[in-house]
A and B are shown apart, each in its own frame.
Chain A
Amino acid sequence: MELFRLSATEVAFGVRDGRFSAEDVVRSCLSRIESKEPEIHAMLTVTAEAAIARARELDGRRSAGEDLGPLGGVPVILKDNMCTAGVKTTCASRILEEWVPPYDATVVRLLLKAGAVLLGKANMDEFAMGGSTENSAFGVTSNPWALDRVPGGSSGGSAAAVAAGYAPIALGSDTGGSIRQPASFCGVYGLKPTYGRTSRYGLVAFASSLDQIGPFARTAEDVALVMEVLGVHDPMDSTSQPVPPDDFSQALSARDLKGKRIGYLKEVAEYDYDDRMKNALSKAMKACEEAGAEMVEISLGTAIDHGLASYYILAPAEASSNLARFDGVRYGSSSKDPESLMELYLKTRKDGFGDEVKRRILTGTYVLSAGFYDAYYLKAQKVRKVIKQEFAKAFEKVDSIILPPSPTPAFKVGELIDDPIAMYMADVFTIPVNMAGLPGISINVGFSEEGLPLGVQFIAPRWGEKELLSTAAVMESRFGGAKIADGGDL
């Protein structure tokens, strides 16, 4: 068996037991990347040499009898908005094309401490703004299941990498669906943790109050494994909550959903969206019922009707401020020989940012401006509060909620790129979760007739990751784990 096909759990066990070396695993993944990358282009940087050196170091330590940690020898790919000391971190933007961070993000530090091997940095929508990875300044990523289609976004490179077998684990960040939607498009598992569960220190901020780092994997077990490493309090991130680390793996022992109440949304049933996604949802709901869950209709009117509009005020507002630091003074690209300070700012930012980023900076600047703040930003904050309350009420009735991760399966490259509003609308089912700071997981439940992966999303109350992992484990026992995309064209 080719080692790149193994799950993270299998790799960690195999390396620990000496059945194969970390170097063998890393080499297998690197050659997989090499053979697939020309058609998929999921990676912005592949740190092959460093990965092999790291694997050898781990193998040496293992031979010396050392315990390598829960991810000993496991290859991991990072979305290119997580800082890696000494390795370029571009956010898929021209403005950071050559930027090498002076420090590691907390998640990177935790992964390395747990014995992981970093293979490189994955493509994404520039500064995580987008739902297709087409906004990358360095080229689009293809969906490994259908090369003429997008992998979703903004963590499209990470999702595609796991789907294509580059690594068993990749990290993404989710501000409005950027883990769950690409997981669905690429047929893998993607978890967006509770806001405050994983550290944002070293994640280049898009919208600080919404961003959260989470894993892509091909099994629920692997998601749990990574979360046990990442789900710890970080004093470097003041929004990281000091909750005790959870025994996520324990949640995997669930065999059924007896006694569970799972909510489905009245608003979703009434929503006009893709039949293939509707079928996937029905199929998953049926599986839940068969596993013993009681399905309960609930309503989240504000979340579905106003969540999207509010999000596209709040997220750009925060982004306009977060991205102001890219001014050409200290790091990143800088316009040459400016005549004045103003020209330095204007040219650096005009040449450095892509269209979608500029669109959001402008939107965000507008909604925060004197005279508009109350009507937009403040109103949106109020909506956000109502959404939180709405969820809190819903979770008095149900243990988790099922809904689609996206209104459509993977769409074609170029299909929506000239219609930003349509692109934004694709986030309607994922955004409320970020607005309320809840955990959500996207899992694959099958494929469409033409072979496109179809996912469903489960969401839980704050700190309810274990609930999600139990449900995912039960679903996995019915639908099987995520598959590696081997073909090219379908």
Chain B
Amino acid sequence: MSLTFTTVIGLEIHVQLNTRTKLFCGCSTDYIGATPNTNICPLCTGQPGTLPVLNERVVELGVRAGLALGCTINRVTRFDRKNYFYPDLPKAYQISEFYVPLAEKGEVTVTGDDGKPYKVGITRLHLEEDAGKLVHGASDGRIVGSTQSFVDYNRSSVPLAEIVSEPDITSPRMAKEYVATLRQMVRYLGVSDGDMEKGSMRVDANISLKVSDGRWGNRVEVKNMNSLRALERALEFEIRRQGAILSDGGEIHQETRNWDDSAGETSSSRSKEESNDYRYFTEPDLPPLVLSDSYIEDIERDLPELPWEKKARYERDFDLPQDDISVLTEQKDLAEYFEACVKAGASPARASNWIRTEVLRVLNERGGHISEFSLSPAALVELLRMVEGKKLSTTAAKEVFDAMVSREISLKEAIDACGVTAGNLSGDGLASLVQSVLEANGDVVEVIRSCDDKKDKKRKFLQGQVMKEARGQADPREVAKILDIELPR
């Protein structure tokens, strides 16, 4: 009998909170691309005698995220010290919330492996400071082969929220969806930019397998996944690796493994091999953090509509395909743009269609963000109205759209510039255009005349050609009439 495995995954996600200044001092949190050791002060380099002062904004963002995760917010928490030596940790302790987290006992709904909604438990969300960054002297920046290492403290004391899930996740796909859901959530909340590539969202995975014969594999921690795809691949790799070992009757070594994205495999981490005793104790330099009910209620009241709530509402209110709803609600700003269009009178289907095909195309081409998009929802709706009123063909409207966006001009200016008002080309002018199209497509005309055009396919083709030549300025009904005269049925 062959063995089967049940996958057990728990994720720990570090989210960099979106603040201007660090967790315990006034230094800028802008460490990406900054000259090393420029955004530092006596506090975040751990100079003797310095004392932490809590950034209130961090607490607010943490509570916001905790509430969105459906967590209980603890009214009294204390910061603790996690003690260990490493050159990127200037005080030789990290200030974190160990004994009592800011928030705990929440949940996030994802798609289960059976396709039904599935709840992943959130164990806790706690606040802590980031460490600095080691830069090694080897040409590839890695520690192996380096004769020198340098420390950059720009990132030291940057605020993080660590979100720990229950070991409820049962597949790499689900892990990926869970992280994508959290990423979308923190972005909606304005809590973090959630960028895995830049490291403002870092995912560590704990994965173990349960064997159908009753054996349990040891838990392995996997680090260094810098994208959703990497997370999924790393977990798939681990399932294969652990499965093979367990199938052979072997034991899984409890360890930390690093994902190597280019090699497509995990390898045992050489650093931090010994199990650390962090000697946690309450940070005496910070008084207890006491949050009043009204403070938490105020934050709760200000919570924006969350992505999953928005999705549910779209399903309820708009007759749109699932795919459209997913795309529209992916980013809060895009959803707001869409809703503004609908509010201004566009039909949800047409607004969705235009946003997906035209707005997102332009944004992709330009690498811009919807919040910086020059065309207002009102202007877009004005354009869509012209299409609906048959004043512009879809083809012409797309040309006008491009002109409005690229040259940042009004609808009227764009129509004039493109010379594409619907019906501009009619009567004799249109008739002679039709004539030249028929001449250029003699073979097609022949088919129609011999009554072989069963489903009017060829006729429609010719009509399309005329419309194309007319650059949208012809009224399609008039074109059809002329064609009927030239090629009687």
Contacts and interface: CB of A to CB of B under 8 A. Distances in A.
Contacts of A82: 49
A306 B281 CA distance: 21
A365 B92 CA distance: 13
B83 A204 contact: no
Contact of A325 (B48, B53, B285, B286): B48
A123 B469 CA distance: 95
B49 A203 contact: yes
Nearest to B283: A208
Interface in B23-48: 42, 45-48
Contact of A324 (B52, B54, B85): B85
A42 interface: no
A105 B49 contact: yes
B285 A239 contact: yes
Given A238-B286, A321-B93, A325-B92, A368 B49 contact: no
B284 A318 contact: yes
Secondary structure of the A contact surface, majority rule = loop
Interface string A72-93: 0000000001110000010100
A327 B93 CA distance: 12
A321 B83 contact: yes
Contacts of B285: 205, 208, 238-239
A114 to B, nearest CB: 20
A264 to B, nearest CB: 32
A369 B277 contact: yes
A238 B24 CA distance: 11
A99 B49 CA distance: 13
Given A324-B91, A327-B85, A345-B85, A369 B49 contact: no
B307 interface: no
Contacts of B45: 330
A330 B286 contact: no
Interface string A170-208: 000000000000000000000000000000111111011
A324 B53 contact: no
Contacts of B50: 201-202
B92 A327 contact: yes
B53 A321 contact: no
Contacts of A479: none
B87 A238 contact: no
A102 interface: yes
A239 B85 CA distance: 26
B47 A102 contact: yes
A325 B46 contact: yes
Contact of B54 (A105, A202, A238, A320): A238
B281 A377 contact: yes
B48 A204 contact: yes
Contacts of A237: 51
Contacts of B51: 200-201, 236-239
A99 B46 CA distance: 14
Given A202-B50, A204-B48, A321-B81, 11 more contacts: A82-B49, A89-B48, A102-B47, A202-B49, A205-B285, A235-B53, A318-B281, A320-B83, A324-B92, A330-B47, A373-B279
The 10 closest A-B pairs by CB, nearest first: A324-B92, A209-B284, A368-B279, A208-B284, A204-B48, A202-B49, A83-B49, A325-B46, A329-B87, A204-B49
Interface of B: 42, 45-54, 81, 83, 85, 87, 90-93, 151, 277, 279-281, 284-287
11 contacts: A89-B48, A201-B50, A201-B51, A203-B49, A205-B49, A208-B284, A238-B285, A318-B284, A320-B83, A330-B151, A341-B87
